[in-house]
């Protein structure tokens, strides 16, 4: 159905936007075209390696920029020493480096105009007063300038788009169910439960929303 505005302009209902031509403020996180991974690693079992492998092995199709100061390439992919030295500004930056380095990375991301971030790194308010202060600092850095998920999270999985920006050992099968949880442990348990039962997902959002990602916004995204 279309509606006519007060100025006589015909506006199509979002329900009929079958090609999803209308952008959404959370697209850089849930449907990015390019991803920078800060903390990419070749060390087997590390979070940085697991996230990079998941990005590379999923049918994401976008450009992936591993960031590591000490390596020229990781898993055969060219690596960059910092976010500032990337050849283009990515839609999303995923951070797996130690907590103390996160403010600096986010400050660079904000200055470059990167619109979305996922902070997988732990070591924030769950660790005590110092972690609380560190988390408050990153919120001040990104507030009103960048939307992030985290810190201390598993990441985001969008099976419909082929995006797996998590360190989970498995990936959900694409379907129509959207699952959002404040608990990464619960999400991984549901994911493990779903695979042998052929339970399929449109989106898994794993853990905390921050900096402009109020609950209404992801719900609006899912309704699209």
Q: Other C-beta atoms within 10 Å of 65: how many?
A: 21
Q: For residue range 100-109, what is the model confidence (pLDDT) as tens digits?
A: 999 999 999 9
Q: Under 8 Å CB-to-CB from 98, ≥6 apart: which residues?
A: 121, 123
Alpha helices by DSSP H, the chain: 27-30, 47-57, 102-112, 129-142, 184-194, 216-223
CA of residue 118 relative to chain centroid, distance: 4
Q: Per-residue pLDDT for 190 more than 60?
A: yes
Q: For residue range 56-113, what is the model confidence (pLDDT) as tens digits?
A: 988 888 999 999 999 999 999 999 999 999 999 999 999 999 999 999 999 999 999 9
Most trustworthy range by pLDDT among 1-10, 141-150, 163-172? 141-150
The whole model's pTM is what? 0.77
What are the structure tokens assigned to 28, written together?
């850089």
Residue 152 near residue 128, CB atoms below 8 Å: no
């Amino acid at each position: 159905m279309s509606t006519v505005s007060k100025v006589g302009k015909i506006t199509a209902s979002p329900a009929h936007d079958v090609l999803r031509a209308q952008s959404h403020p959370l697209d850089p996180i849930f449907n990015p075209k390019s991803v920078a991974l800060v903390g990419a690693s070749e060390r087997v079992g590390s979070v940085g390696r697991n996230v990079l492998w998941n990005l590379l092995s999923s049918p994401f199709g976008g450009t992936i920029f591993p960031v590591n100061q000490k390596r020229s390439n990781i898993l055969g992919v060219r690596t960059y020493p910092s976010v500032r030295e990337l050849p283009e500004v990515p839609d999303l930056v995923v951070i797996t480096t130690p907590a103390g380095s996160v403010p600096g990375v986010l400050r660079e991301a904000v200055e470059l105009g990167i619109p979305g971030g996922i902070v997988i790194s732990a070591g924030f308010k769950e660790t005590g007063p110092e972690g609380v202060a560190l988390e408050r600092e990153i919120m001040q850095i990104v507030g009103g300038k960048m939307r992030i998920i985290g810190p201390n999270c598993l990441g985001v999985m969008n099976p419909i788009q082929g995006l797996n920006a998590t360190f989970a050992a498995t990936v959900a099968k694409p379907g129509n169910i959207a699952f959002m949880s404040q608990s990464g442990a619960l999400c991984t348990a549901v994911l493990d439960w779903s695979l042998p039962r052929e339970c399929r997902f449109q989106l898994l959002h794993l853990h905390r929303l921050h900096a402009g990602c109020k609950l209404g916004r992801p719900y609006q995204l899912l309704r699209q």
